[in-house]
Chains A and B, each alone.
Chain A
Amino acid sequence: MTVISELSADGQQLTILVQGRFDFAMHQDFRNAYEEVANVQRFVVDLRGTQYLDSSALGMLLLLRDHAGGEDAQVRLVNCSPDVNTILTISNFSKLFQIG
């Protein structure tokens, strides 16, 4: 399980690629991925390599959203597998994040 982050050429968008089970074990890596990068306008969490996400992962997404400005945050969750989508749907996270 790894977290890889990549900043766009203009430095405006940070893409965080999460691979493996997205759960509490990723807590520190996930935070590190965005906390050390300043002046990012948009965040993209790429979940193509994630088959599973638990409630602490949802909590980490909320932390990212908070870091990104809360209500004004621009955070997109992309490449969600059907299982991940189910969990996001049950939690109604589409009300907080752009999904897709």
Chain B
Amino acid sequence: MEYDLNAMDMEIGAIEERAKRLKELGTGIEAIERNADAILAFVYLLKKSVSDIIE
């Protein structure tokens, strides 16, 4: 069965954008910045698992 890699990639991109935005909004609040960074670390892994393959 086929996966929709492009759709997955779009979602990963959207999560990345939102996590970056969240980090910006929470600048100065450790709990927001660090958790947003953690999300971005997993976004990096998702990009290595999906996005890199379709480029």
Q: Do A and B bind each other?
A: no
Chain B residues near A (Cβ < 8 Å): none
Contact surface of A with B, Cβ cutoff 8 Å: none
